[in-house]
Every structure is written in structure tokens, then in C-alpha cells.
Amino acid sequence: MTGNPDCKKKEHKMHMCALKAEGFDKKKPVKFMALTENPQYKCENCGAKANKAENLCKPVEL
């Protein structure tokens, strides 16, 4: 799958790995910022930070 071939979750298209691989941070910077403005978790796969664990493939608490 885009950004992380190991992620089997059906929500992967909303994960930071996939969003970054698609250029979502460039195409929709405001929406992307909203997902990352108050990060509580980071992704063990790509290192991206996010407000919610549900937006990461392998969330770990910051």
C-alpha cells in the first residue's frame, strides 16, 4: 500500500504514511495541519506525528 506496504488496516488511506506519500500535505496543507497541530502520537513506520492514533500505521505515544 502507498507509503507503507506492511499496513493492512483498511483505514490506511487516512494514515500519515499514505497521506504524505500522496502529497496530501502539499495539496491540502490546512487539513493536514489540523491532523498534526497537537500531536499525541508518532508513527513507528514513517516518524510522522499526529493528534490521533487512528491516523498512524504504528502509533506510539509521544
Provide the binding-site residues for Zn ion, judged by CB under 5 A.
Answer: 7, 12, 15-17, 43, 45-46, 57
- Nearest residue (CB) to Zn ion, 37 versus 54: 54
Least Å from the CB of residue 32 to Zn ion: 13
Dihedral, 50, 48, 8, 19 alpha carbons, nearest 10: 80
Least Å from the CB of residue 30 to Zn ion: 21
- Nearest residue (CB) to Zn ion, 35 versus 57: 57
Q: How far apart are CA 40 and CA 9, in angstroms?
A: 20
Question: In angstroms, what is the C-alpha Rg of the chain?
Answer: 10
